[in-house]
Amino acid sequence: MLLADIQRREVLEALPVVEGIDPSDAGEHSGYLRVGEWLALPVCQVMCRINGQIDLEILDESGASLGALCLTAKLIGKQPDTFTRWQYVAYLADVEALGAGQPHTFQKNYLILLDSYYSEYAKKYYVSAPVWGGFSHSPPPAPISQDRVSLTARAGIIFPTKFHDMAFSRYVSASNAFERFLRLYHTLELIFDYIVFKSIQKLNEDLEGYGKLSRSHGKSELERLRYILSEYCDDCEGIAARFVALANFEPIATAIFQTHTKDGNPLSDEGKWSAMVEACRAGQTTKADFKRFAISKDHEYETKIVGVAAYWIYRVRSSIAHSRVSEFLFLDADEQFIVDFAEGVLEEVVRQVFSSRKLLELTEE
């Protein structure tokens, strides 16, 4: 109920008293609805693993009861007089005046807190609730989306094992672009392991062949990623076309790829980086374009695209996965960079890898 509605005494007095909770006692405290000795604090996010009772009593470290986390978003079409006292306080905060007294479906979950404990809760527990309670009073960032008018179905995409199937399912269910990028990256990690496994199977007792295999696949994660792209991507111009969107995110791209540069950066030379940015601004990333912008010669084009794509994908992955000062630290506001640029590069690589003829042949051996 809007705080303004608690001034409408006729609405409150028409509601029943439930387990000692009298709506006519409604008031306001620190911007929240107060009913008698209870405050209703909206809960914006709850971990999916929290299940069981609708009312989860909250105790302080001495064992004293502070109130309850009410998972009221589970309650659908319930009559007000069937609620527990905590649920009824949540109901009074959730219901609109015009719907008061009618069967109600909750829009939110609530923390129902003793009014006398609010100051201590706000000081000690409010911000840290995600850690100790698995819920948060802060709303999640609004998801970033892309407008699309159609989707292109692509035949020939292979999931070699049930683990790849599960990995892609987790990717689709990700709640934001950062999580989605990591889950899609995991599919490439899985495919590398599958490639190594199938290659070892063919060696039998060929120890020399095993040594060559180890050397060719590289030791670092970036080397392994380059190997996958070089062996299982056959349309480098298709990957390079995804580079163009970088022009819309020059400051953040420069920070991630150049300011926080790491070993293996194929554009570590500032002249090459500037040339790449110019090519992206112009929307010109073909083999002929790269030659004209002096990024690479004709015979170097595929190697350059593989190197750049692998490095960029790896750097974005590292910046998301490792929150430390040596990495670029993403803010929620940077999600558009992932959606409109980085994710597109990774998606193109994944589509090519999982639909490659070479992978199909490997699965048939």
What is the phi/psi pair of residue 115, to 5°?
Answer: -55, -40
pTM for this one? 0.82
Cβ-contact 72, 54 below 8 angstroms: yes
Per-residue pLDDT of the chain (365 residues; tens, 9 = 90+): 555 566 677 777 888 899 999 998 889 999 999 999 999 999 999 998 887 678 999 999 999 999 999 999 989 999 999 999 999 999 999 988 778 888 899 999 999 999 999 999 999 999 999 999 999 999 988 878 788 888 888 889 999 999 999 999 999 999 899 999 999 999 999 998 888 888 777 776 655 655 566 665 557 899 999 999 999 999 999 999 999 999 999 999 999 999 988 889 999 999 999 999 999 999 999 999 999 999 988 889 999 999 999 999 999 999 999 877 778 999 999 999 999 999 999 999 999 999 999 999 988 87
**How much is the pLDDT for 208?**
61
**How much is the pLDDT for 220?**
87
Helices (H) and strands (E) counted in the chain, each on its own, are 16, 8
User: Which residue shows structure tokens 């998301």?
Assistant: 320
Give the pairing type, strands 26-29 and 65-70. Answer: unpaired
Cβ-contact 101, 5 below 8 angstroms: no
Q: Could you give the 3-state DSSP secondary structure of residue 29?
A: strand
Residue 67 pairs in a beta bridge with 58, 113
CA distance to 1, 99, 285, 336, per residue, from 19 (Å):
19, 21, 70, 49
Listed residue (64, 110, 102, 65) closest to 82, CA to CA: 102
**How much is the pLDDT for 6?**
65
Listed residue (35, 38, 69, 67) closest to 54, CA to CA: 69
Q: Which residues contact 111 (CB under 8 A, 6 or more apart)?
A: 40, 41, 42, 43, 58, 67, 68, 69, 70, 129, 135, 137
